[in-house]
Amino acid sequence: MLNQDEKRRIEAAIREAERGTAGEIVVVVTRQASRYRAVPILYSLVAALLTPWPLILFTELGPTRIGLVQLGLALAVLLLSGLPGLRFALVPPSLKRMRAREAAQREFASRGMTDTRGRTGVLLFVAEAEHHAEVIGDVAISGEVPEEAWRGVIEALATAFRARRYADGLVAAIAAVGAILARHAPPGAGDVDELPNRVVLL
């Protein structure tokens, strides 16, 4: 998704943004927030439950044959919906959003965001397949910056990713996050860089 030069551009953008704020910015980008392994099972169960009724009502098939048709159709649906591209297409948009938000929260918890001295960690998270971007701030940031402040950053970043302008979108988003943080969480005496300035690709 990003070559080495683009990764260095993003790292430089993080360092530059953090110069004007006490906030610590971490960037995480994932191709897809979840593998959605339960989706094929769900669709095959639905197929298995629905198959017998039209056969009972409109055919003369006996219970054994209906059972075999039911099993065959459930297996076919399981195999087809297990294909990665089709599986993702079958996922409801609400579930995609929920899984992307869950992935962002997991990354926030696992990247040391709550371990900074001033609780100023900020996660910039993008799930490419779900077209989902999110900014999560630790308590010192979320208490100062309203959620609405991130909306423009998120929309611009999602648009850039849909156009496959990954590096440009991330650099612009980092600069915008840094500008917001500079207003709400200016640097203090003795500020140090506590979290890595690299983009994490999953």
Q: What is the structure's pLDDT at 82? A: 77
List the domain boundaries for the chain: 4-35+92-201, 38-90
pLDDT at residue 85 in the model:
76
Model pLDDT, residue 167: 93
Q: What is the CATH number of domain 4-35+92-201?
A: 3.10.310.50
Q: pLDDT at position 124, please?
A: 94
Q: What is the predicted pLDDT for the residue at 104?
A: 94
> pLDDT exceeding 70 applies to what percent of the chain?
100
Percent of the chain with pLDDT over 90: 35
Q: Is pLDDT at 96 greater than 80 in this prediction?
A: yes
Write out pLDDT tens, residues 150-202: 998 999 988 888 888 999 999 999 999 999 999 888 887 777 887 888 889 98
pLDDT surpassing 90 at residue 114: no
- pLDDT tens digits along 60-86: 888 888 888 888 888 888 888 778 778
Select the more confidently predicted residue: 154 or 38: 154
3-state secondary structure the chain: CCCHHHHHHHHHHHHHHHHCCCCEEEEEEECCCCCCCHHHHHHHHHHHHHCHHHHHHHCCCCHHHHHHHHHHHHHHHHHHHCCHHHHHHHCCHHHHHHHHHHHHHHHHHHCCHHHCCCCCEEEEEEECCCCEEEEEECHHHHCCCCHHHHHHHHHHHHHHHHCCCHHHHHHHHHHHHHHHHHHHCCCCCCCCCCCCCCEEEC
Per-residue pLDDT, 171: 95
Over residues 97-122, mean pLDDT: 90
